Amino acid sequence: MSRALMTGITGLRTHQTKLDVVANNLANMNTVGFKSQSTVFSDLVYNVDRSGSASSDNAGGINPQAIGTGVQTAQVTRNFSPGTLETTTGDFDYAIQGEGFFTLMTPTGEPVFTRAGAFALDDRGRLVDPATGYLVQRIGNLGEASDGGVQFQTEGDDTIYIPIGSAIPGTQTANIDFTGNLPSTSSPPEAEVLSSFRGFEDGGGAATGATLINDLTINTTPYAPGDTIELVGTNPDGSSFTATLPADTATMQDVVDTLNANLVDAAAALQPDGTLTVTADDTGEALLSLTFRDVAGNTGATNFSGNSMFVDTEGSNGDSFDVSMDMFDERGESHRMTFSFTKDTINTWSVTASIPSSSGTMIDEQVLNLTFNEDGSYAIAGINGVGDANIEIQINGITNPQTIELDFSDISHLAADYTMTQVQDGIPPGALSSVAVSTSGELTGLASNGRALPLAQLAIASFPNSAALEAVGANYFQKSISSGDPALGLGATGSRGQIMGGQLERSNVDIALEFTQLIVAQRGFSANARTITVADEMLEELTNIIR
């Protein structure tokens, strides 16, 4: 009878253990990242009352006979199935969708692992578990500025530093891309041209360079020795000149030569039809003028009014269009820059850049021969077919000149209105304002200037046998002998799940299942308690035999 009592006690103990496990599960039904547990029972050793025997030719075999001594808790297993992900407002709330664990370091230097990614920043800008102060760990050299970027992490230190509010340098403008249309209907530059109202003629038709003034049809009285013709006019810049020549012997070629000897930045010529022209050397606005007149006291006379000079072609610059933008130097300071597109010929333009003198000076401000094909598509920019689509600037206070490459390949030359937009790759300075996380666990810093910078890579651990991890409380696990060593890597690689930002993993406790297990534990406890009660009653009957 005593054996039945002891067997019943083992049943009470194991079902009490089952009840303890269920109670712990229900207590942690709202614990972030909690993984529920379950109990597995096994029977105890058996007392053999009779051994079995083999059969023979004359008799059959005998089965063994043994009586068990009760039950024991064989395992308390942990269920690592994923819990539901809950969206949160925490900037540093992370969840793992799939297998894997976040890695943290304790003050003693021992690593611990968790599924609860409710992290925060401490006063030093380190990513920690605010409940314990344990430091979240990283792997790799991301954020160490090994590629020349901004350094956030310290080589050899796996702690993650996120200095929110720290200054982030800008980047200087190195490329500007233009997109738009330069009107093909725009006018190219023109040089100013003076022309006689009519061509000069002699009796045989159009005058030539050998024609004497006295032989012109407009000569009303032949000139005598001593008579003088005066040429009075202005150069393209408005400066005046006066020249004279002997009227009785002068030819039209003498007139042309005299003009060319006195004109500045312009040239005279006699055209085949007898027309006298004066053409400015340069394009653009000009102040050319020319008048022929007889000097007072001349014996002869010529009626020059019918062949007076007039502006046949107005001097003008090519049509020009401007576009302005901000560019950035190596300190991140912005400077206003203006680009002027000026039409040079039917299918070519030039581009001139300028900045205020308070910002600096232009070393190379022009791009020449911005050339388009006849269908309006872009051809090339440069000199003699050699590309030179860049400008160079000397910014005040900076030693090295800044070179900017210009891209005009998206500009068209069509009979449409002028349009122009531009994109430059410079960025002003800013401050680290927030952090984003990728599915692999890569932390990226977002600065107020729009710049995205690599910060760190979360260390995600996986184990050969995660079910054997040792729970140490506070949502942490430690490796055990049977769990194997952790393999640290990126999320979404190998057996590791994806990292989800702005979410936390809820407990995977199934309330319906746990309530059912409560009933099972209660029934098992009650049944074993009944075994003890019956054994006690039988012992009582036995002791009453001697009365």
Residue 383 pLDDT exceeds 70:
no
CATH number at residue 352: 2.60.98.20
| pLDDT at residue 538, as a whole number | 82
> Is the domain of 296 the same as that of 202?
yes
* Residue located via tokens 């932390």: 443
pLDDT digit string (tens) for 214-257?
A: 999 999 999 999 999 999 999 999 999 999 999 999 999 999 99
pLDDT at 385: 43
Q: In the prediction, which pLDDT does 434 show?
A: 94
Boundary residue ending a domain (424, 454, 487): 424
Residue-wise pLDDT for 450-471, tens only, equals 889 999 999 999 999 999 999 9
Residue 535's pLDDT is: 81
Tokens linked to 260: 């060319």
The pLDDT, as a whole number, for residue 237 is 94
* Band of pLDDT at residue 310, cut at 50, 70 and 90: very high
Confidence of residue 70 (pLDDT cuts 50, 70, 90): confident
User: Which residue segment(s) compose the domain that 31 sits in?
Assistant: 2-80+508-546
> Is residue 536 predicted with pLDDT exceeding 80?
no
pTM of the shown model: 0.68
pLDDT band (50, 70, 90) for residue 68 = confident
Place 211 in a pLDDT band, splitting at 50, 70 and 90: very high
Crossing angle of helices 2-27 and 511-543, in 10° steps, is: 160
Are residues 491 and 525 located together in one domain of the fold? no
Structure tokens at 255: 């007139």
Please give the pLDDT value at position 107: 96
Contacts 24+ apart (CB under 8 A), 407-411: 407/175, 407/176, 407/177, 407/178, 408/178, 408/351, 408/367, 408/370, 408/378, 408/381, 409/378, 410/177, 410/178, 410/179, 410/180, 410/378, 411/178, 411/179, 411/180, 411/181, 411/182, 411/370, 411/378
Query: 125 and 158: one domain?
Result: yes
**Same domain flag for 418 and 370:** yes
Residue 386 has pLDDT above 50, yes or no: no
| Residues 449 and 534 both lie in one domain | no
| 214 DSSP assignment | G
End residue of a domain, out of 363, 391, 424: 424
* Beta strands per DSSP E along 344-486: 348-354, 360-364, 366-372, 378-380, 382-383, 386-387, 390-395, 402-412, 419-424, 430-437, 442-447, 452-457, 460-462, 470-473, 476-478
Q: Are strands 402-412 and 175-181 parallel, antiparallel or unpaired?
A: parallel
Contacts of 96 (CB under 8 A, 6+ apart): 102, 115, 117, 460, 491, 496, 497, 498, 499, 500, 505
| Whether residue 72 is found in the same domain as residue 106 | no
Burial 202-222 (b: 16+ CB within 10 A, else e): beeeebeeebbbbbbbbbeeb
Q: Answer whether 430's CB lies under 8 Å from 451's CB.
A: yes
Question: Are residues 232 and 198 both part of a single domain?
Answer: yes
> What pLDDT, on a 0 to 100 scale, did the predictor assign at position 180?
96
The pair phi, psi for residue 412, each rounded to 5°, is -110, 165
> Which of residues 313, 336, 352 is at a domain's end?
313
Least confident of 151-155, 375-379, 404-408, 528-532: 528-532
Q: What is the mean pLDDT of the chain?
A: 92
Residue 59 and residue 122 in one domain: no
Can you tell me the distance from the alpha carbon of 405 to that of 443, in angstroms, rounded to the nearest whole number?
32
State how many domains the chain has: 4
Residue 269 scores a pLDDT above 80: yes
Contact present, 187 and 284 (Cβ < 8 Å): no
Q: Classify residue 483 by its DSSP letter.
A: T
